[in-house]
Amino acid sequence: EAQVTQNPRYLITVTGKKLTVTCSQNMNHEYMSWYRQDPGLGLRQIYYSMNVEATDKGDVPEGYKVSRKEKRNFPLILESPSPNQTSLYFCASALSGTGATEAFFGQGTRLTVV
């Protein structure tokens, strides 16, 4: 089954403790992206990747890092999480970054930073 898999689905952590949210897709997609969803703000892009070893900042990249060493994986790293990073995070992938192909979303990771 074609899918985007995020782990974990739920995470509660403390301020400053480094964490990684994994994202994996099995569709051989070139384009991958991370979004955060906050009430009243919709979804905002954090980082995106057009292909392996090609990443770039989205609209709200501060406090986040990403890497794309393999085509299928695109982990989101919070080196020193803060309470304002409490949010619902979504990973997405698409065949290409042209916008002409459908984006597939993972089921989300609900992160709480206390």
Partner 1 sequence: AQSVTQPDIHITVSEGASLELRCNYSYGATPYLFWYVQSPGQGLQLLLKYFSGDTLVQGIKGFEAEFKRSQSSFNLRKPSVHWSDAAEYFCAVVDMYSGGGADGLTFGKGTHLIIQP
Minimum CB separation from partner 1 for residue 113, in Å? 20
Tokens 């709480």 — which residue? 112
User: Of the two residues 80 and 109, which places its CB atom closer to partner 1 in the complex?
Assistant: 109
Amino acid at 104: F
Choose among 51, 52, 34: nearest CA to 43. 34
CB of 35 to partner 1, least distance (A): 8
- To partner 1, the closest distance from the beta carbon of 16 in angstroms equals 29
Task: Work out how close the CB of 42 gets to partner 1 at its nearest, in angstroms, rounded to a whole number.
Answer: 4
- Among 38, 36, 37, residue whose Cα is nearest residue 47: 36
Instruction: Give me the amino acid identity at 39.
Output: P
Peptide bond into 8 cis (omega under 30): yes
- Pick 44 or 65: Cβ nearer partner 1: 44
Residue ranges binding partner 1 (CB under 8 A) = 4, 31, 33, 35, 40-45, 48, 50, 56, 58, 90, 92, 94, 96-103, 105-108
Token reading at 71: 């085509």
Nearer to partner 1, 64 or 90 (CB): 90
